[in-house]
Amino acid sequence: METTMIDENRTDSIHTNRLMQGLIRLGWDQTFQAHLDKMNQPTRLPARIIGVRKNRFTISQGDKPRLATVAGKLHHNPDERFPVAGDWVTVADTVIQTVLPRKNALVRGAAGSRGKQDEAPSRKQVIAANLDTVFVVCGLDRDFNLRRIERYVTLVYNCGLSPAIILTKADLHAHPEAIAADVEGIAFGVPIHLVSAKERSGLLELESNLSAGRTITMIGSSGAGKSTLLNRLYGAAVQSTGAVSSSDGKGRHTTTTRDLIMMPQGGMVIDNPGIREIALWDGEDGTAHAFPDIEHFAQECRFSDCTHLHEPGCRVQEAVANGEIEPDRLTSYHKLKRELFYLAERQQKSAERVEKEHWKAIALKVKEIKKKKRKGWKG
């Protein structure tokens, strides 16, 4: 009998080993393990969210993907994290119980959550979690727009993430290197890659982002060429792509779901549908990272709290006047700064409102108690 016991233990540990190897392939590490250990619920196993279709989730532990549902408490409790692509979760059978704390997340202001066009969004949308790099993908066709790249880069930095800019469809431009140089002028220190998915050029340089255990995601407009790039890097058509309607240069919606793809290089890519509205969400000061040139001149402004709009002795304005900074770049900076300011203000306001409501509730309670006491004294 004793031999079978030993064998069972052995199979057990082989099983655990295999599970662990599968998880590590998906990016599992000591940080997540520590979170799991702290929960102390040995019956719940970790898994990663590798597919999101509305409220249906696909999870993986490194082997066969499985469909999963979400425990009711995640739906109803606004304080609970709700799973997104790239999240690590605990599951009991095929029910997602908890979302483990995220290392980071790509977050934006939810589309349609701002009342007027210029208003700060009132809700956030988590696009993907636990990322190593975010590819900002921009096609060198009509999609190309420096200001939009600035906005994406700020969004990425604002989330505490590292961007890399992928200029794709290089085959469609007569002087792609000149465009790359322009981008260099607005994205200091951000890796810039010129690629053509069609001609398969520039792909090899991207592979260092895809080494084992790493996760990247791609953002960019619909039709930018994200899914095509993913397919090329994969070496097969794993994602569907769409033709751009030539009349308006805008792509059709082809990717409506989010999938985490295990790449042959060892890393993982989360494909995203095109984002039409790139609203920022409050976070780290993304503009400081995205506009180091302006921040550099700002140190020499006469006033330490200079807004670089109209103050005397503003070194930033001077830099614009003598051509050290492009006027459009400063406009873009002001615009993004203003957005972040309104976001912060909105959050401050809603915090104050919660506080106020809290005290109102207490005042009501006190009144109620007083009333009861009075009644008690009378009766």
Ligand X SMILES: Nc1nc2c(ncn2[C@@H]2O[C@H](COP(=O)(O)OP(=O)(O)O)[C@@H](O)[C@H]2O)c(=O)[nH]1
Q: Which residue ranges make up the site for Mg ion (CB under 5 A)?
A: 226-227, 254-255
Residues 267-326 that bind Zn ion (CB under 5 A): 301, 306, 308, 314, 316
Of residues 219, 148, 151, 145, the one with CA closest to residue 179:
145
Q: Could you give the CA distance from residue 247 to residue 257 in angstroms, rounded to a whole number?
A: 26
Closest contact distance (angstroms) between CB of 256 and Mg ion is: 9
- Does residue 243 belong to the site contacting ligand X (CB under 6 A)? yes
- Residue 217 vs 227, nearer CB to ligand X: 227
- Does residue 254 belong to the site contacting ligand X (CB under 6 A)? yes
- Does residue 176 belong to the site contacting ligand X (CB under 6 A)? no
- Residue 290 vs 306, nearer CB to Zn ion: 306
- Residue 224 vs 320, nearer CB to ligand X: 224
308 touches, from Zn ion, Mg ion, ligand X, none (C-beta below 5 to 8 Å by class): Zn ion
- Does residue 255 belong to the site contacting ligand X (CB under 6 A)? yes
Chain CA centroid to CA 227, Å: 17
What CA–CA distances, in Å, run from 262 to 172, 173, 268? 29, 31, 5
Closest contact distance (angstroms) between CB of 269 and Mg ion is: 12
Closest contact distance (angstroms) between CB of 104 and Mg ion is: 23
DSSP string, 139-203: ESSTT--HHHHHHHHHHHHHTT--EEEEEE-GGG-S-HHHHHHHHHTTSTT--EEE-BTTTTBS-
Angle at 191 between CA 187 and CA 193, to 5 degrees: 105
Name 281's Cβ contacts closer than 8 Å, sequence gap at least 6.
107, 108, 109, 121, 124, 155, 158, 159, 343
Closest contact distance (angstroms) between CB of 166 and ligand X is: 10
Quick one: which of 110, 242, 295, 296 contacts ligand X (CB under 6 A)? Answer: 242
- Residue 209 vs 254, nearer CB to Mg ion: 254
Q: Could you give the CA distance from residue 127 to residue 345 in angstroms, rounded to a whole number?
A: 23
244 touches, from Mg ion, ligand X, Zn ion, none (C-beta below 5 to 8 Å by class): ligand X
- Does residue 274 belong to the site contacting ligand X (CB under 6 A)? yes
Contact residues toward ligand X (CB under 6 A) are 168-169, 171-172, 196-198, 220, 222-228, 241-244, 251, 254-255, 274
